[in-house]
A and B are shown apart, each in its own frame.
Chain A
Amino acid sequence: MLTYVAKRLSQSLLTIFLTVSTVFVLIRMAPGDPAYALAGPLASTGDLEKIRTSMGLNEPLFTQYGIFLKELAAGNIGKSYSFQAPALDVVLGRLPNTIFLAVLAILLAIVVAIPLGVWMAKRADTKRELGVNVLTIAGQSMPDFWIGIMLLTLFAVVFPIFPSSGFTSWSGVVLPVATIAILQIALVSRMVRREVGSNLAAPYLTVARARGTGEQKLTWAYAMRNSSIPILTTLGTRFAGMLNGVVVVEVVFNWPGLGSLVVRALETRDYPLIQATVLVTSVLAVGVQLLIDLCYPLLDPRVRLGKVSVA
């Protein structure tokens, strides 16, 4: 078990390193110039050149990367160009807002999608289930920015029940969370339906039913319990994805989280800020994944004994 943890941990570190490095190179290859963004449209060529030199952007890519790694090893990611503050501090300042949104959305998804998916699995192919099924297909097909704008129009403009933007009160949380959760509920409930459905049809379930086990127990203690690994994996991946900043939703609702921050950082070519965001989110995403991997042996005895490998 300990070697397993050590192995997964080193893999995780490698993943983070590769992600950060790739992004470092990519943002510098992409068109655009931070000097322009900083100096403004009226700056002269000389001014721009001065800014570039002062920020070390005229050095060859390799040299820049070397400096970046050296600084990173010292725990220093650099100062954000636009905030004129350590980039990591800016990111960590925004992080709680995104985590808040993601946690609420995933909790809502769990509370709604799991019972919904189980219900669909048990009533599979009945007329009512078909109706709900179509709704979930719609839910996973609608783009989130569209759902967001529709909810905004409906519940903030036509019927002004909720505020249209910002994080000033609890009611401001409702629309962004609902926007994110709709897609997650659709995806997770369909997945629960499939997994629980196949377990409800499994031979062991018929045998358990034959020995008189009650329906509730068959559904939850057997079918649901046996579906827990794929469901947990999906939830984990979804959650990790949300931590990366629910970019579009945060922009639509002007939510002060990582998503809107990264959009701004990209617009202004704020390299240190982009790097800090990528570093923090990849650590979180990989961390969540690692946590889930470590849960597998608790959920399935076959993984514990190394008989089945879960990829």
Chain B
Amino acid sequence: MSVLEVRDLSIELMTTGGVIRAVDGVSFSIDAGQTVAIIGESGSGKSTTAMGLLRLLPDDLAVISGHAMLDGVDVVTEPKKFAKLRGRSVSLIPQDAMTALSPVHTIGRQLGEAVLRKGAMSKADLNRRCLELLEQVRIPSPDAQLKKYPHQLSGGMLQRVLIAMALAVDPVLLVADEPTSALDVTVQAGILDLLMELQERTSVAILMITHDLGVARLVSDRIHVMKDGKFVESGEVEQIVEHPQTEYTQKLLAAVPKLGHWDGEPQHNAPVFNPATSNTLNGAHP
């Protein structure tokens, strides 16, 4: 059974330049334990889709229509009911970990708040649960981290804290909005590994929003390619990557940087620095 079933979702944004249809009738579903990625360039509407599904867009600036069933609640037509699910059945892993936590509150306080969404518990239990969660996302010496403030942790550590926070309530769906874009490549891999491992254990469904085809390919089961608010192509990962049907997807694939052969011809006609033929540092222009 699908955890999230989206049918004909549209989101219109009121801007100073007029009404923009940022999301234009998209439909998709995610099963438990599955990861679905929405990829596309900036402005394609992928983040708006995610934020709209969480009802985190301001009501006076965004009009949502269509259907989106999550845990028996229609996100679009039952916003009050859904507000109770937010942070319980569905949680968010945000884009930029460095700005995602309040700078004047400790990690423990903010993590504890997420844990308490499931219900009141004693201070000792809360502390134990927080430590357990930080251990789950492999944060070293969790006891010390709980007392720290966000600026005392690195971006990668903060993203781990945010993942712990998102998992604190055993959600059925995780919405990951570019969870690794703000991180170093080496840290990225660790975070993605962690996400997949946690998914395997909890069989949480993940909606992954990314512009990075590499990320989408690594973690997801299905990919939707989004452009101008519409899905231009949808399918299994292999199908999208090996046999892209549309020109847009082909371009997205081509935009992924590849390493050329060490001694082969340079790709395209890019000027290449060749120490053998140059006598200046600007060897590309002899």
Contacts and interface: CB of A to CB of B under 8 A. Distances in A.
6 contacts: A205-B102, A206-B94, A225-B102, A300-B104, A302-B149, A305-B151
A222 interface: yes
A300 B87 contact: no
B174 to A, nearest CB: 11
Given A302-B151, A307-B151, A208 B94 contact: no
Given A301-B149, A307-B151, A207 B162 contact: yes
B121 interface: no
B48 to A, nearest CB: 13
Interface in A166-225: 202-213, 222, 225
Interface residues of A, number: 21
Interface of B: 51, 54, 56, 83-84, 86-88, 91-92, 94-96, 99-105, 110, 113-114, 117, 149, 151-152, 162, 165-166, 168
A206 B52 CA distance: 12
Most buried by B among A202, A207, A226: A207
A212 B86 contact: yes
A132 interface: no
Question: Considering the complex of A and B, which 8 residue pairs feature the smallest CB-CB distances, nearest first?
Answer: A212-B87, A210-B92, A211-B87, A301-B149, A203-B99, A207-B100, A211-B114, A204-B102
A225 B105 CA distance: 9
A299 interface: yes
A129 to B, nearest CB: 12
B103 A301 contact: yes
Contacts of A208: 102, 110, 113
Given A203-B100, A204-B99, A210-B94, 17 more contacts: A204-B103, A205-B102, A206-B94, A207-B101, A210-B56, A211-B92, A211-B113, A211-B114, A211-B165, A212-B86, A212-B114, A212-B117, A213-B113, A299-B104, A301-B103, A302-B151, A307-B151
A222 B86 contact: no
Contacts of B87: 210-213
Interface of A: 202-213, 222, 225-226, 299-302, 305, 307
A211 B105 CA distance: 15
Contacts of B99: 202-204
B88 A212 contact: yes
A166 to B, nearest CB: 46
Contacts of A210: 54, 56, 86-87, 91-92, 94
Contacts of B162: 207
Nearest to A301: B149
B94 A226 contact: no
A225 B166 CA distance: 23
Contacts of B151: 301-302, 305, 307
A209 B94 CA distance: 12
B164 to A, nearest CB: 11
Nearest to B84: A212
Contacts of A222: 102, 105
Nearest to B60: A126
